[in-house]
A and B are shown apart, each in its own frame.
Chain A
Amino acid sequence: MTSTTLTAPATSTNGAATAAEVTHTSTRRFAIGIFEDEDVLLHAVENMRAAGVKIYDVFSPFPIHGIDDALGIERSRLPIAAFFFGCSGLAFALWMQIYMLGFDWPMIIGGKPNIALPSFIPVTFELTVLFTAFGMMITFFTISGLYPKPKVNVLDARATDDKFVLAVELDEASSELPRLTQLLRENGASEVNHKEMTKF
């Protein structure tokens, strides 16, 4: 996190738009609550949602148990995708072996049938696993927007170390900031920052 994105501490902002905010229309503004402990954050998320605050996201150094329910994140459908990738691997492997040895170029090997299903099992199993793993991972990376990027913009660099970050997106005038600051403080945030991100 470069210091340029950190424009103003929470207390000095009272909702008035500065010149910089007007010129950068693509800029996104966030109120950021920093928490020291994941249990405190979890309660903060619950309380703030109950107070009608729309939480942009939570950033943490490790998965927080129970955050999915608190944030209302739906259960991932990746297992279903994985199942179908597995099925496609199974079908592909069987088709490949039956087509190659049974139809395209049948050969008698040890006097055994051309389509010897028992000895096709190992390759079929391996390809099922391979398709499941790669299909699921490619889907995961694609839907999550995970790809190699030379510069990564983060809201707070400590979110990958030991801090738990709760981010709420603000409107152009940051009018909600004073209320959110108070709410975050009340719910145990150790600091509250206001952050503008031109690229996020």
Chain B
Amino acid sequence: MQHISAVREPLITGGKTYHDVTQDVCRQVEAAPNIRWMGAFAVALFFLGIFFYSVYRTVWYGIGEWGLNKTVNWAWDITNFVWWVGIGHAGTLISAVLLLFRQKWRSSINRAAEAMTIFAVICAGQFPIFHMGRPWVGYWVFPLQNTFGSLWVNFNSPLLWDVFAISTYFSVSLVFWYTGLIPDFATIRDRAKGKIAKLAYSMLSFNWKGSAKHWSRYETVSLILAGISTPLVLSVHTIVSMDFATSVVPGWHTTIFPPYFVAGAIFSGFAMVLTLMLITRVVFKLEDYITLEHIALMNKIMMVTGSVVGVAYITEFFIAWYSQVEYEQYAFLNRATGPYWWAYASMMTCNVITPQLVWFRRVRYSIPLTFVLSIIVNIGMWFERFVIIVTSLHRDYLPSSWAMFSPTIIDVGMYVGSLGLFFTLFLLFAKFFPVINMAEVKTILKYTVNNGPSYGGSNDGSQGTGSRKLAPATAPAVYASAGVPASATVNYDKQQHD
């Protein structure tokens, strides 16, 4: 039976049955990798090679391989770090915050978005590790006594907070993601034909059988993980922003940073989710699951957070003038009109103007335009971090030490290489893991057309299948009664299983 609304657009199109969902998602896991996947993987591996080469140069010859100087002692590395961490935030927003808000449309995209989070945080982590210069003693960031002698780490330092924030964020996201994957691994396991596949997915599925008791606990656990991940994701970028805000550098020392960074993180994260989803839905033929409606909804979130970021830019400028602090005023004037004006102009164009185009319905629902916009936003958000970091550092209180920054080829290699690392991981995920949360999509299948507050379907605080409710009187729903054979009550468009 289906519960149908006349108002809402369907969340999943194509009249899918439960079995269709399994088939559609497992198809690419079970099939041999196609030529497009292999081509993409080869390109990703090439860029991963660039990453390894750049890392080798950085570790072997030292940080001097980068374009840093005495004045600008933080540049692309921290820019890339903040950029990647920010991208990760959309995944947690989709998996945790939208779960708490009962946004059922998240079901089709949360798996891939969470994977994106984990891979983005892995990429982010590379930059501070290699900026240490001696990554083999990287464990010194943890509260161990200095070379196991006497001195502890400094818990008053925002950089140490970062260590705790990023490692907690990574491990909690990983646990959250993996828990969601277990039932889907069980599905693949029970379908697997090959010996190795059966063994691998048996191990991965953690003995999951779909028992009612386990599902009950699973839902409790998901809800609590979502509850603690929500403040966690906000804390992570807050702490990242404090790396800057707790210093006394003009342009950094502002209280607006935490909310401004969090909004920017979600903004850039949704742009990356859109980029990835637009490719994934075509390559894996998942247009029925990731619909135009999903794209429009993600576009709207991008527009809201993009507008918050735009307001923050203007507020910063206003406060610089209003504070009457000479250095602060100069820092902002220098951003807009100094030698790095082009970076500032790119940031303003990409981040302030682009999201406003989404007000037009035609843009919101257009796949090519959305794709272009999402790329532009990602470029803009990279420039935002570059502008904040480099323009504040290169001219501070002492004009005699003013300097310019120019990246070396190794800087560029680290950045494009990290993209290679990200896409290598993402492509492996897309091939061997279910890219859509099958179990969760199945819970919303009957309600694909009924997600609105005014219709008594899934809006009763239930987890998906509010199946004990009668559909609204206008809906052509059939309510099952006991004693009637099941085949008579199932009312899908497609009833035949293949």
Contact = CB atoms under 8 A, between A and B. Distances in A.
Q: A and B, one complex?
A: yes
Interface of A: 1, 35-40, 42-44, 46-47, 57-68, 71, 73, 76, 78-79, 82, 86, 96-97, 100-101, 104-105, 107, 109-110, 112, 116, 119-120, 122-123, 125-127, 129-130, 132-134, 136-137, 140-141, 143-152, 154-155, 157-162, 186-190
B443 A63 contact: yes
A102 to B, nearest CB: 10
B186 A160 contact: yes
27 contacts: A37-B490, A39-B1, A40-B489, A47-B482, A57-B211, A59-B210, A61-B438, A61-B442, A62-B183, A63-B464, A64-B212, A64-B215, A64-B465, A66-B467, A67-B215, A68-B212, A100-B153, A105-B151, A122-B165, A125-B235, A127-B164, A130-B168, A136-B225, A137-B221, A143-B217, A145-B207, A160-B183
A126 B464 contact: no
Grouping DSSP codes into helix (H, G, I), strand (E, B) and loop, the B interface class, with mixed when no group exceeds half, is: helix
Interface in B474-490: 479-487, 489-490
B18 A162 contact: yes
A165 to B, nearest CB: 8
Most interface-central of A137, A150, A187 (chain B CB within 10 A): A137
Contact of A157 (B155, B190, B211, B229): B190
Contacts of B486: 35-37, 40, 188-190
A134 B209 contact: no
B235 A148 contact: no
B37 interface: no
A105 B466 CA distance: 58
A73 B179 CA distance: 21
B392 to A, nearest CB: 21
A76 B1 CA distance: 30
A186 B245 CA distance: 69
Interface stretch (B114-122, B197-205, B305-313, B352-360): B197-205
Contacts of A71: 212-213
A162 B19 contact: yes
A181 to B, nearest CB: 15
Residue among A46, A109, A125, A152 with max Cβ neighbours from chain B (10 Å): A152
A62 B440 contact: yes
B212 A60 contact: yes
Nearest to B441: A62
B224 A129 contact: no
Contacts of A187: 482-483
| 7 nearest CB pairs, A to B | A162-B18, A43-B482, A36-B486, A122-B161, A157-B190, A63-B215, A100-B152
A146 B207 contact: yes
Contacts of A40: 480, 482, 484, 486, 489
Nearest to A161: B22
A1 B189 CA distance: 10
Contact of B17 (A132, A148, A151, A162): A162
Nearest to B146: A105
B203 A154 contact: no
Contacts of A140: 217-218, 221
Nearest to A116: B156
B150 A105 contact: yes
A71 B22 CA distance: 27
Nearest to B466: A65
Contacts of B186: 152, 160
Nearest to A58: B212
From B155, B218, B239, B481, residue with most partner A Cβ within 10 Å: B155
A86 B225 CA distance: 12
